[in-house]
Structure 1
């Protein structure tokens, strides 16, 4: 799937080394095309106050577009450790 720059995407699997979990919402900030390989995307993830918590580059297959069925959730840093 193609994702436009500056759109929200939903993470499909945990990325423990970045303290990200499936269902977290990130913003596409760049697209990376390498011939013969699926597109990759640089993403920014924010906390509820707008502070950046992670910047990662992931394959497009690890992302999806949000739907009306999605609901934001809150987890504290202490709970995610």
Structure 2
């Protein structure tokens, strides 16, 4: 998978201590060799919910067949 800086990615596993769930969308803000990523997840109003360092295996690129949805952080 060729993930680049500022790509939009989708989380593949829950991260409960950060309030993140499978399917949450984030932006790659830093790349770490060989397979690390710093990803920022934001709320609908633009507030940073989490800034986390993950492995490439923890996310996937967004695709043209994905549809966006909204959930409340209270439900996380």
Q: TM-score scaled by structure 2?
A: 0.92
Give the secondary structure class of the aligned counterpart of 1:5: coil
Alignment of 1:62-81 (within 5 A): 62-80=58-76
Contact 1:2–1:60 at 8 Å: present in 2 too? no
Unpaired runs of at least 5, structure 2:
none
Distance in 2 between the 1:41 and 1:22 partners? 17
Give the secondary structure class of the aligned counterpart of 2:33: strand
- Residue 19 (str. 1) matches residue 15 (str. 2): no
Distance in 2 between the 1:20 and 1:79 partners? 10
Q: TM-score scaled by structure 1?
A: 0.86
Unpaired runs of at least 5, structure 1:
none
- Residue 2 (str. 1) matches residue 12 (str. 2): no
Matched positions, count = 76
Root-mean-square deviation (CA, aligned residues, Å) is 1.1
Distance in 2 between the 1:42 and 1:78 partners? 24
Larger radius of gyration: 1
Moved over 3 A (4+): none
